[in-house]
Structure 1
Amino acid sequence: MTNAIDRNAVHHMKWWGWGVDGVGFHHEDKPGFAPFVKFAVGLDLGTAVRTGEPSFDDLNVPLSNATEEFTAELASIVGAENVTTDDMARVVHTYGKSIRDLIRVRSNTILRSPDVVIYPADEAEVQQIVDAAVAANAVIIPFGGGSNIAGSLEPIPGEARTIVSLDLGRLRAVIDIDTDSGLARIQAGSQGPDLEEQLNKQGWTIGHFPDSFTHSTVGGWVATRSSGMQSDKYGDIANIARGMRVVRPGGVLVLRPLPSTSSGPSVREMILGSEGKLGVITEVTVQVHRIPEKRDVYAYFFPNWKSGIAAMQAISESDATPSITRISDSRETSFSLATSKNRKGVSKFMAESALPGIMKAKGWNLDDICLSFIGFEGSVSHAKHQKSLVDDIVKKHGGMGVGSGPGILYDQKKFDTPYLRDFLLDMGAAGDVSETAAPWSKLVGVHEAVYAAARGAYEQLGNDGWIMSHMSHSYHSGACLYFTFAFTFGDDPIAEYNLVKNAIQQAFVDNHATISHHHGVGLEHSPWLTQDISEEGVKIMTGLFESADPAQNFNPGKILPK
């Protein structure tokens, strides 16, 4: 299938931060935000000087080592207009959007960039590019939306071979929909809004909405084992992705979209989370669903974290099937209230209603309250029945519902968080995330251990740092915990960030949790892989990668520990 989209129609995020130019986080309409930041990390937004946009002209970009002959060979495949060694294009394709990535690019620290960026139009061109690159012993790094925050995209410093960033942005069509089976064939470079718009026009939805939805691709979701905000209903991408096409040297790996198979060890599972190390994903066949008749997000409050977690576990074990079960701990609850806009959502309830008085009358400590969002989708009768089941469970665990009005806060914030990270960087502070998953029996212990680890790291820095968390993505046996941490930088931002991040990651594996629930491994999390899957697990994974890619042409250095 040939795609007529031109390279110039492929849009990327700004080279120095999240999202597109002209869009960012603003706190002027959030009166509680500045006082909260002062309380949480000691940063006075009234006196802090915000840095301006960095100048690309000041950036030292490593020279491309792509030869004229190799560049010309690539141009003969895709056309000269769809291959470039331009410095801006190469910088955009150097890093993802982790804190470490953004600190380095803002501080003019680019040790290695791709040498050439290429934009194929279809799978046939991807095959020719892969074959040419492997024949030249070049490195191939597939590129989707560039939203990764685990270090999965960057070239390894010291790599002497020519590095090709293979941008799939021109492959962004929903090819067809099998309406009888609810299966849609989607090109791997399709970003969330593009594919959802195409599906919606025919009455369907993929139901997969990660925080990065507006800038990430279906191929990237598969490559990192992504999870979306409505995974309780629709599943993680590992459940949604049924079939795949993956270009490898000399041929295409084809996995048909079968409902289930017993065909030996699952090759589909090998591709999921492989981060481009086994080939270039060009197409994914996904489960899709009819757009639900009704969708509501209701807010609930619980007196404390333990009661809220117990309620979420009870919901997961019940006959209720909500699309979202999320609860913020007391710290994240206070943050949510502080960052909501003037007189909207839960802040309006808290400020203008009798709710605080009711909570106090129940004996609740307002410093301990936890805000939960629970979503219901389907027919009107189904959504109503699901809500009644959940309402009973919430009541049994001491919680209380406050209606669907505060759901505006959930929808208002769901794709905004990365912009807040850029804002804090502008102010000389870090704001980042680490997520994990653990059995229900371990969740409260993991939460306490991570808090203790972060506090210990902040003490080493002599810094008043902040940490908060929410639980999301429920399963029968456990759930995801998503931690957000923030602190002001000293003289060595990368080292200080590493100290805090490493403490949190170690607390995960020391307390029966995994190193990542949905962000992938990349370089950021690879040091803990052996502790996560055991030495024998690493041996098997190493054997897979060495067998499938003996010359390490595909995204070398990622996933496996050094």
Structure 2
Amino acid sequence: MTDVKHMKWWGWGVDGVAFHHEDKPGFAPFVKKAVGLDLWTAERTEKPDFADVQVAEPIAPAALLAELKTAVGDENVTTDKLERVVHTFGKSLRDLVRIRALKIDRAPDIVVYPADEDAVAGVVKAAVAAGAVLIPFGGGSNIAGSLEPHADETRPVISVDLGRLRLLLDIDEDSGLARIQAGALGPDLEAQLAERGWTLGHFPDSFTHSTLGGWIATRSSGMQSDKYGDIADIVRGFRVVRPNGTLVIRPIPSASTGPSVREMVVGSEGRLGIITEATVQVHRIPEKRVIHAYFFKNWDHAIKAMQEISESDASPSITRVSDGNESGFSLATSKESKGVSKFVQDSLFSFLEGRGWKPGEICLSFIGFEGSPDHVKRTKAIVDKIVKRNSGLGVGTGPGVLYDQKKFDTPYLRDFLLDMGAAGDVSETAAPWSKLIGVHDAVYAAANAAYEQIGRQGWIMSHLSHSYHSGACLYFTFAFVMGDEDPLGEYDIVKGAIQQAFIDAGGTISHHHGVGLEHAPWLEQDISTEGVAVMSGLFSSADPDGLFNPRKIIV
């Protein structure tokens, strides 16, 4: 079989890697206070046994299998049970709860691994002839329900795993444009670029287990988007296999050629075809890269500083600030400080409290700087003045180094909490600067009201990231201990309250996780009835038989 590697079938990431709290003395007390869970006495669930997973027999007509094998090779077509389960879900909390409960209502029937665009075209041709559904699959990290087949789907479902399409094909060094196959995972993509002195600069939290095609299909954003842009800014062209041929968008800097087909494909979640390669803007690896940490007295001062930075001549690569709750969480997940480090930390907080700063309100910020040494120096000088003007204090690069080291490990914490019966999940939005604090407060109120409704002690925290001239992203994390009777019903109440608060307070339903099935109920409120009508018209016209990842985004 193929050498494409996947995450473990029942959770996030690599089997054998997990979050541990024993070396983080503040974590267990924090969790106890936040959601009432005692980590030292809680009973931990065992890893589910794959032998207990029940999956219906695949709908795999012999003629269709034969055509697919002709297209991609016999060894790259499978109806194996484990392969089908791996390709059923993404990694949302809803996905993980169901897979751990061994609940699979509808799995893909066939998994194929094409090696190039011609093979993808052969798969599409065979599927269209057989009236089969096609669902593109990248790294499997989606958390918006963009991958799973509908439970009532009666047609054969083919998961098209693009993991063999992972090469850097070419770099136009004069233009800073790189052609890369869509199935390239973040680390592989960056390694190939780095060999030639380049970087894409796109680092979402899912970086280690997500692909270029997946980023494009969901309108992804990375933690350095302040400098490099979101994926919609980075991708300049691509190739998309469709039933009657290949849609080709050339990498032109800008064009006046009617409504942007490029924009139609970005964020389309596989509904318009299968992306096989993309031409993306790349940059020379910067001479210097550094992340500095800052503390702010409270959330209001921190937001004001982030806004001023976005409007200034500074051009940082990262502008991230956690509210009081998330700052407390970050400190609780740190390993124990000893000796001089502990003395410095204790002295710092004593100093801040002496200035009237309240521990529960202090906000931790990370701001990144990249470029030539002179540029980094100038940019940091501008930022430092803004920070000082807004009751902020720089604390050096030490915390920034730790942030850089553990930035891709957060999803493992969600699995750890699930092992203890607790839900830990995220929702993100974007709003204008004038509404950000109102959105933040509205989400807190909605989440706490939802916790009261379900009778659970819950937690909510947030950080600001991805700053733009007109506003920024707010990324919320929420957690509570689930009941045994209807855990997903409880989750729906909390998640639904947060999503509705986004809309009511002036934000969007998703900044970078996409729509899928998870956020579709709020789409009309976000883009208007006529917006949904236009989008529906696009999908029905481009795919009248509903073969490409049907009923995602618009159910």
Please give the TM-score of this superposition, normalised by the length of structure 2: 0.98
Determine the structure 2 residue equivalent to 1:295.
Answer: 289
Determine the structure 2 residue equivalent to 1:58.
Answer: 52
Unaligned 5+ runs, structure 1:
1-6
- Structure 2 counterpart of 1:436, from 422, 429, 437: 429
Q: Distance in 1 between the 2:251 and 2:2 partners?
A: 33
Aligned partners of 1:96 and 1:153 also within 8 Å = yes
C-alpha deviations, 1:57-103, integer Å up to 9, x for none?
A: 00101210111221121111111100000000000000000000000
Q: Distance in 1 between the 2:289 and 2:487 partners?
A: 43
Determine if the alignment matches structure 1 residue 479 to structure 2 residue 472. Answer: yes
The total of aligned residue pairs comes to 554
1:350 Cα shift?
A: 7.7
1:227 Cα shift?
A: 0.2
- Structure 2 counterpart of 1:148, from 142, 147, 155: 142
Q: Distance in 2 between the 1:308 and 1:62 partners?
A: 53
One-letter code of the match for 2:418? Answer: L
C-alpha deviations, 1:358-378, integer Å up to 9, x for none?
A: 212322112210000000000
Determine the structure 2 residue equivalent to 1:4.
Answer: none
Determine the structure 2 residue equivalent to 1:216.
Answer: 210
Determine if the alignment matches structure 1 residue 527 to structure 2 residue 483. Answer: no
- Counting only pairs closer than 5 Å after superposition, residues 329-368 of structure 1 correspond to structure 2 as 329-343=323-337, 348=341, 352-368=345-361
1:409 Cα shift?
A: 2.6
Determine if the alignment matches structure 1 residue 380 to structure 2 residue 373. Answer: yes
1:160 Cα shift?
A: 0.5
Residues 55 and 350 (structure 1), Cα distance of their counterparts in 2 relative to 1, 3 Å cut: farther
1:408 Cα shift?
A: 2.1
Determine the structure 2 residue equivalent to 1:85.
Answer: 79
Match of 2:164, SS state, is coil
- Structure 1 counterpart of 2:196, from 197, 202, 211: 202
- The range that moved more, 446-455 or 400-409, is 400-409
Determine if the alignment matches structure 1 residue 457 to structure 2 residue 461. Answer: no
Aligned partners of 1:14 and 1:21 also within 8 Å = yes
One-letter code of the match for 1:44? Answer: D
One-letter code of the match for 1:401? Answer: G
Aligned partners of 1:344 and 1:406 also within 8 Å = no
Determine if the alignment matches structure 1 residue 19 to structure 2 residue 13. Answer: yes
Determine the structure 1 residue equivalent to 2:384.
Answer: 391
- Counting only pairs closer than 5 Å after superposition, residues 301-320 of structure 1 correspond to structure 2 as 301-320=295-314
Aligned partners of 2:30 and 2:329 also within 8 Å = yes
- Counting only pairs closer than 5 Å after superposition, residues 18-37 of structure 1 correspond to structure 2 as 18-37=12-31
Q: Distance in 2 between the 1:52 and 1:204 partners?
A: 44
Aligned partners of 2:320 and 2:366 also within 8 Å = yes
Residues 239 and 349 (structure 1), Cα distance of their counterparts in 2 relative to 1, 3 Å cut: farther
Q: Distance in 1 between the 2:360 and 2:276 partners?
A: 49
1:31 Cα shift?
A: 1.2
C-alpha deviations, 1:29-65, integer Å up to 9, x for none?
A: 2111111111111000110111121000001012101
1:342 Cα shift?
A: 2.5
Aligned partners of 1:349 and 1:355 also within 8 Å = no
Q: Distance in 2 between the 1:37 and 1:409 partners?
A: 21
1:480 Cα shift?
A: 0.1
Aligned partners of 2:2 and 2:113 also within 8 Å = no
Residues 392 and 349 (structure 1), Cα distance of their counterparts in 2 relative to 1, 3 Å cut: farther
Q: Distance in 1 between the 2:125 and 2:374 partners?
A: 55
Determine the structure 2 residue equivalent to 1:3.
Answer: none
Determine if the alignment matches structure 1 residue 548 to structure 2 residue 542. Answer: yes
Match of 2:226, SS state, is helix
One-letter code of the match for 1:544? Answer: L
Residues 68 and 348 (structure 1), Cα distance of their counterparts in 2 relative to 1, 3 Å cut: farther
Match of 1:468, SS state, is strand
Q: Distance in 2 between the 1:335 and 1:231 partners?
A: 24
Q: Distance in 1 between the 2:343 and 2:68 partners?
A: 60
Determine if the alignment matches structure 1 residue 268 to structure 2 residue 262. Answer: yes
Aligned partners of 2:144 and 2:513 also within 8 Å = yes
1:196 Cα shift?
A: 0.2
Q: Distance in 2 between the 1:410 and 1:109 partners?
A: 36
Match of 2:525, SS state, is helix
1:353 Cα shift?
A: 4.7
Determine the structure 1 residue equivalent to 2:173.
Answer: 179
Q: Distance in 2 between the 1:342 and 1:123 partners?
A: 51
Determine if the alignment matches structure 1 residue 254 to structure 2 residue 243. Answer: no
Q: Distance in 1 between the 2:338 and 2:98 partners?
A: 37
Q: Distance in 1 between the 2:245 and 2:544 partners?
A: 16
Determine if the alignment matches structure 1 residue 410 to structure 2 residue 403. Answer: yes
Q: Distance in 2 between the 1:199 and 1:229 partners?
A: 19
Q: Distance in 2 between the 1:350 and 1:57 partners?
A: 52
Determine if the alignment matches structure 1 residue 157 to structure 2 residue 151. Answer: yes
1:24 Cα shift?
A: 1.1
Determine if the alignment matches structure 1 residue 326 to structure 2 residue 320. Answer: yes
- The range that moved more, 74-83 or 336-345, is 336-345
Match of 1:509, SS state, is helix
Q: Distance in 1 between the 2:212 and 2:520 partners?
A: 23
1:406 Cα shift?
A: 1.3
1:348 Cα shift?
A: 4.2
Q: Distance in 2 between the 1:431 and 1:408 partners?
A: 25
1:343 Cα shift?
A: 2.2
One-letter code of the match for 1:509? Answer: I
1:8 Cα shift?
A: 2.6
Determine the structure 2 residue equivalent to 1:421.
Answer: 414
Match of 1:438, SS state, is strand
Q: Distance in 2 between the 1:449 and 1:101 partners?
A: 27
Residues 270 and 344 (structure 1), Cα distance of their counterparts in 2 relative to 1, 3 Å cut: farther
Q: Percent identity?
A: 70
Aligned partners of 1:127 and 1:250 also within 8 Å = no
Q: Distance in 2 between the 1:262 and 1:348 partners?
A: 57
Q: Distance in 2 between the 1:374 and 1:503 partners?
A: 31
One-letter code of the match for 2:33? Answer: F
One-letter code of the match for 2:448? Answer: R
1:354 Cα shift?
A: 2.0
Determine the structure 1 residue equivalent to 2:492.
Answer: 498
Q: Distance in 1 between the 2:150 and 2:287 partners?
A: 48
Q: Distance in 2 between the 1:272 and 1:406 partners?
A: 35
C-alpha deviations, 1:244-267, integer Å up to 9, x for none?
A: 000000200000011111110000
Residues 348 and 542 (structure 1), Cα distance of their counterparts in 2 relative to 1, 3 Å cut: farther
1:344 Cα shift?
A: 8.5
1:341 Cα shift?
A: 1.8
Determine the structure 1 residue equivalent to 2:33.
Answer: 39
Aligned partners of 2:2 and 2:75 also within 8 Å = no
Q: Distance in 1 between the 2:132 and 2:75 partners?
A: 21
Aligned partners of 1:437 and 1:478 also within 8 Å = yes
Match of 1:474, SS state, is coil
Aligned partners of 1:227 and 1:236 also within 8 Å = yes
C-alpha deviations, 1:539-562, integer Å up to 9, x for none?
A: 0000000000000000001001x4
Q: Distance in 1 between the 2:444 and 2:405 partners?
A: 27
- The range that moved more, 104-113 or 347-356, is 347-356
